[in-house]
Amino acid sequence: MLQIDNLVFSYHKKKAPIFEGINLTIHPGSVYGLLGKNGIGKSTLLYMMSGLMFPHKGHITLDGVEVRRRRPETLEKIFLVPEEFDLPAISVDAYVRRNSVFYPHFDREQFDRYLTDFELEPVKNLAKTSMGQKKKYLVSFALATNTPLLLMDEPTNGMDIPSKSQFRKVIASGMTEQKSIVISTHQVRDLENMIDRIDILDGGRLLLDSDTTTITSRLRFVKGAGEDDIEGALYKVSTIAGYSAILPNPTGEESPLDIEMLFNYAIENPTEIERLFANPVK
C-alpha cells in the first residue's frame, strides 16, 4: 500500500506550491485514474510516488518505508512508465535480460503474451520502433514485472485507436489483487470502463478522491435527454442527440459513469464537487 501524507511541493520557493497538503492512499487490487489539466502536476506526483522526486514536506511510504530512501527492496516493488522516453538500440530479448533481473517477479511468459495481445514482434532494434510501439513494448514489460505498484504517465499518447483498445484489454488481463495501477492522463475517455477509483488534481489539491461505485451512487449520468428530463441538473451539455447531464441521485439509481463529463463538472465547479464527496467511501 502506498500512503501519501500532507504532501507539499513547489518548483520555486517564491511561487505557490503545485501540491499543498495532499493526502492519498493507493490500495492493492485497484486501478486509479489520476486526472487533471495539462501542467497541473500529474507527472510530478507520479515521479514522487516512484522516488525520482522528493517532496518539500510530507511523506510518501510504500509498505511503511519512505520511498525517497530508494532502497532496493522498495524500488523492486515499483515500475514507472514515463510519458516520454527512449528505448536502447538492442533487441527485445536483450532488453528483457538486462532489465528483468531487477524485478524478482518478472514473468517472461506473461511478457510474450502481452506482446501477442499488442500484435508486436520481438524486434532486433527497439530504438527504431515508433513511439506508439515503444509505449506498447514498455507497457508489456511493466505489467510482466508484476510489481505491487505500477505507475503510468499518459500511456496511450502515441497509440492509435485500435492500440488504445488493446491497451485496455491488456491492463484488465494483467490486473491482480496484489497490484495497484495508477494511470495519469488528460485524455479521460481512454480510461472508461477500466478504472476503479478517480482522483482529480486541481489547484494544488485533490479535488476528488473516490471509487466509481460511490460516484455513480451519488450522481446520475444521462445522455440524449430532453430538456424536461434534466430539470435540476448539476451540469449539462447540449449535443446533437439531446442533452448530456449530471443529476443528483437520491435513489442510488445505476447509470454508466461518464468520466469526461465528471471531470469537466469537477473542474468548473470545485466547491460543489468537494461538498458532494466530503465523506467518500474508501
The verdict on 198 and 273 lying in the same domain is: no
Domain CATH code at residue 122: 3.40.50.300
Is residue 11 scored above 90 in pLDDT?
A: no
Question: Are both 153 and 35 inside the same structural domain?
Answer: yes
> Pick from 32, 36, 11: which is nearest to 202 by CA?
36
Q: How far apart are CA 65 and CA 10, in angstroms?
A: 23
What are the pLDDT digits (tens) for 139-158?
Answer: 999 999 999 999 999 999 88
Asked if pLDDT for residue 105 goes beyond 80, the answer is: yes
Quote the CA–CA distance of 155 and 136 in Å, as a whole number: 9
Q: Is 80 found in the same domain as 115?
A: yes
Count of domains in the chain?
A: 2
158: exposed, middle or buried (C-beta count within 10 Å: 0-12, 13-18, 19+)? middle
Q: Are 34 and 199 in contact (CB under 8 A)?
A: yes
Domain match, 186 and 259 both: no
Q: Are 201 and 35 in contact (CB under 8 A)?
A: yes
Select from 203, 223, 256 the last residue of a domain: 203
State pTM to two decimals: 0.93
pLDDT at position 188? 82
Domain shared by 156 and 27, yes or no: yes
163 and 261 assigned to the same domain:
no
Give me the amino acid identity at 129: T
CB 43 within 8 Å of CB 83: yes
User: Quick one: cell of 37?
Assistant: 489539466
Select from 168, 203, 238 the last residue of a domain. 203
Segments forming the whole domain that contains residue 236: 211-282
pLDDT digits (tens, 9 = 90+) for 212-239: 999 999 999 999 888 888 889 999 999 8
Take residue 190 and report the three cell numbers written for it.
Answer: 481512454
AA identity, residue 251: T
196 and 60 within one domain: yes
